[in-house]
A and B are shown apart, each in its own frame.
Chain A
């Protein structure tokens, strides 16, 4: 369970173009399996996602993970926690071109120095699981949009995280692929993983698997509703 207490994030602090993307937000996530942040562009939902996922440190306020304060940790330790707790799926997938799908999946585990054979096996299992079993050796620029996203999801899962964080996961997908994505989320949810997303996409908020929809505006929480599933 991740708890944010009175968290503020200021970008370009101390400069002329400083602005507060998140202004004193308090929220607890993780007790519901699937949560979606929605809101207009610039409402701060992506920033909030980076704070929850420990990609960034709050300017002020406190973040705790299962009761332990992690907001004051230096990068080294924060990264350690992030690596084993969160997996990330980005809007533009952010795969590394020139590497194979398998290598992309293995990438987050490189700093852990795991056994190579075991790690390769794990990556292949994940790809297989996501229907890409035959494409592991293919360089990622040869993959379609849907396949690229599934590689990105496999990469997010390689360290077996408790949370999967996805930023606008369906922004680049058509209806069919969106449905496919939601199926994957359903499976993850069934496996007990918490999925936290931001989205503009009504197909997401209204999906039956979403437990909670949180609305942001101007860096503040404005609504926190049960999702279609819970209702």
Chain B
């Protein structure tokens, strides 16, 4: 046992010295390896961070949202259903919600306009007041006067006093949010009284959702019920799907990396071949050479993997994944500046290892073996 450990130490020593003698070749390989790990890890870390954001966000969403459908399209829903809905057993509260988007021609951004629900007392806004997300502040100079000017779709001009700014980093959706009072909202969009964008149900026990939906469907015909878990599911599958597609595209990169590794491993220099011949002649066995080469692969792999992972971590969580954002984040133009919560997951790291270390190892096994079986008498021929 001790001998085995000592043997491994000797082999590692030798391998390290041997790698140092071929710096250029190993640096090139290491560089490409690092780059592959970096890109893949960035994609995966970013994807999962976004998914986590979405999940955190959803934790506060109502269990069920009721939308009116007209010809299969989302339409304004009448508030008169609220009474029937809150009467259903198990429904704690039914509320009408007003929210929508306002396109600002001035800077090409889309704002999410919303009336804070009556139950949300911390964000209550009076007429003429607004609470804005951090993104708005950046694209629109609100200035010291704390006034926000908006042009309604009808062309009318509105002025709001900014009462409060939502804290930075409170998430993906809050960035472009503008909260205004119900009266202002209806005026801004020319909405009649008594209609809502949708209705939100909060439900006492999540296990009863299915039963409640059955009853609600009867109470509010022509409508669609969206549950929180189905939104979570959709988010999850959309984001993982994007991540998967990106990975599949990167498959080409992984493949070329594997080919490079194969090539580097099989294209042994004459010097290296001679060395292996000498080792075999002076008393090394095939498995000694294999082990030494295994260490070489392990050192390169672990090194590139760790450094690549750390760099990707920094890229995603400290530099907001500048290189990937447009691909993964979605349609809005407003979000560049929010911070993702640093998070790392062993499942992801394992998956990443599968996409990098496994192809590398698979590609190098045969060339390494070919080198290791060099006949010991070659040095004498």
Q: Number of B interface residues, CB 8 Å? A: 35
> How far does the alpha carbon of A96 sit from the alpha carbon of B3 in the complex, in Å?
24
| Partner pick for A50 among B271, B285, B377, CB 8 A cutoff | B377
| Partner pick for B17 among A46, A98, A155, A167, CB 8 A cutoff | A98
Known A46-B381, A96-B275, A113-B4; judge A90-B288 contact (CB<8 A).
no
| Partner pick for A114 among B6, B11, B285, B377, CB 8 A cutoff | B6
The SS class assigned to the A binding surface is helix
Taking a contact as CB atoms under 8 Å apart, the answer to whether B285 and A79 are in contact is yes
> How far does the alpha carbon of A96 sit from the alpha carbon of B375 in the complex, in Å?
17
Interface residues of A in 62-84 (CB under 8 A from B): 75-76, 79-80, 82-83
CB distance from B194 to the nearest CB of A (A): 86
> How far does the alpha carbon of A223 sit from the alpha carbon of B277 in the complex, in Å?
32
Taking a contact as CB atoms under 8 Å apart, the answer to whether B14 and A110 are in contact is yes
Give the nearest-CB partner of A51 in chain B: B377
Q: Please, which residues of chain A bring their CB within 8 A of the CB of B275?
A: 96
Taking a contact as CB atoms under 8 Å apart, the answer to whether B278 and A96 are in contact is yes
> How far does the alpha carbon of A89 sit from the alpha carbon of B151 in the complex, in Å?
92
Q: Number of A interface residues, CB 8 Å? A: 35
Q: Please, which residues of chain A bring their CB within 8 A of the CB of B283?
A: 79, 82-83, 108-109, 111, 159
B88 within 8 A of A: no
| Partner pick for A56 among B11, B20, B274, B375, CB 8 A cutoff | B375
Q: Please, which residues of chain A bring their CB within 8 A of the CB of B284?
A: 79, 108, 110-111
The SS class assigned to the B binding surface is helix
B270 within 8 A of A: no
A116 within 8 A of B: yes
Taking a contact as CB atoms under 8 Å apart, the answer to whether B380 and A46 are in contact is yes
How many residue pairs between the two chains, A and B, have CB atoms under 8 Å in the bound complex?
A: 89
> How far does the alpha carbon of A56 sit from the alpha carbon of B379 in the complex, in Å?
12
Taken residue by residue from 1 to 39, chain B's Cβ proximity to chain A (1 for < 8 Å, 0 otherwise) reads as: 011111111110010011011000000000000000000
Known A76-B287, A113-B3; judge A90-B377 contact (CB<8 A).
no
Known A75-B286, A76-B287; judge A116-B281 contact (CB<8 A).
no
Q: Please, which residues of chain A bring their CB within 8 A of the CB of B375?
A: 55-56
A-B contact pairs, 16 of them (CB 8 A): A55-B375, A75-B286, A79-B285, A94-B281, A96-B278, A103-B17, A108-B282, A108-B284, A110-B10, A110-B288, A111-B285, A113-B4, A114-B3, A115-B6, A116-B10, A155-B282
